Amino acid sequence: MPPILLAVDKIYPKGLVWFRRDLRVDDNAALWQALRTCREVLCVFVFDKPLLDPLPRIDRRVEFIRESLVALDAELRALGGGLIVRHAVAEEDIPELAHTLDVQAVFANRDYEPEAMARDARVFGALANAGITFVTAKDQAVFERDELLTKVGQPYTVFTPYKRAWLAKVDAFYLKAYPSRGHADALIAPPARHDAPVPALAALGFAPTNLSTLEIPTGAQGGAALFEDFFDRIDRYDEARNYPAVRGPSYLGVHLRFGTVSIRGLASVAHQLALQGNAGAATWLSELIWRDFYFQVLVHNPQVAQGKSFRPEYDRIIWHHGKHADGLFAAWCEGRTGYPLIDAAMAQINQSGYMHNRLRMVVASFLCKDLGLDWRRGEAYFATHLNDFELSSNNGGWQWASSSGCDAQPYFRIFNPVTQSERFDPEGKFIRRYLPQLAGLSNKVIHAPWTASPVELAAAGLTLGEHYPQPVVDHAEARERTLQRYGVVRGPKAKAAD
User: Which residues are within 8 A (CB) of 52 and not within 5 positions of it... i.e. 6 or more apart?
Assistant: 62, 204, 205, 206
Between CA 50 and CA 262 the distance in angstroms is: 26
Does the active-site annotation cover 375? yes
309: Cα separation from own chain's centroid = 20
Question: Which of these is catalytic: 210, 242, 301, 357?
Answer: 357
Question: Which of these is catalytic: 18, 166, 332, 375?
Answer: 375
Between CA 445 and CA 474 the distance in angstroms is: 16
* Residue length of the chain: 498
Q: How many CB atoms lie within 10 A of CB 486?
A: 24
One-letter amino acid of 179:
P
Helices (H) and strands (E) in the chain, counts: 22, 5
Residue in 34, 268, 305, 71 with CA at minimum distance from that of residue 171? 268
Question: Which of these is catalytic: 92, 144, 287, 456?
Answer: 287
Does the active-site annotation cover 242? no
Question: Which of these is catalytic: 32, 284, 398, 400?
Answer: 398
Which pairing describes strands 105-109 and 12-19: parallel, antiparallel, or unpaired?
parallel
Between CA 38 and CA 12 the distance in angstroms is: 5
Q: How far apart are the first and last CA of the chain?
A: 43
Between CA 390 and CA 388 the distance in angstroms is: 6
Between CA 90 and CA 122 the distance in angstroms is: 11
Between CA 132 and CA 104 the distance in angstroms is: 5
Q: Residues 401, 406, 409, 412: is their CA dihedral positive or negative?
A: positive
User: Which residues are within 8 A (CB) of 414 and not within 5 positions of it... i.e. 6 or more apart?
Assistant: 365, 369, 370, 479, 482, 497, 498
- For 197, which DSSP code? P
Query: Residue 84 pairs with which residues in a beta bridge?
Result: 44
Between CA 218 and CA 212 the distance in angstroms is: 9
Does the active-site annotation cover 166? no
Does the active-site annotation cover 290? yes
Question: Which of these is catalytic: 290, 379, 394, 395?
Answer: 290
Does the active-site annotation cover 284? no
- Catalytically annotated residues: 287, 290, 319, 357, 375, 398
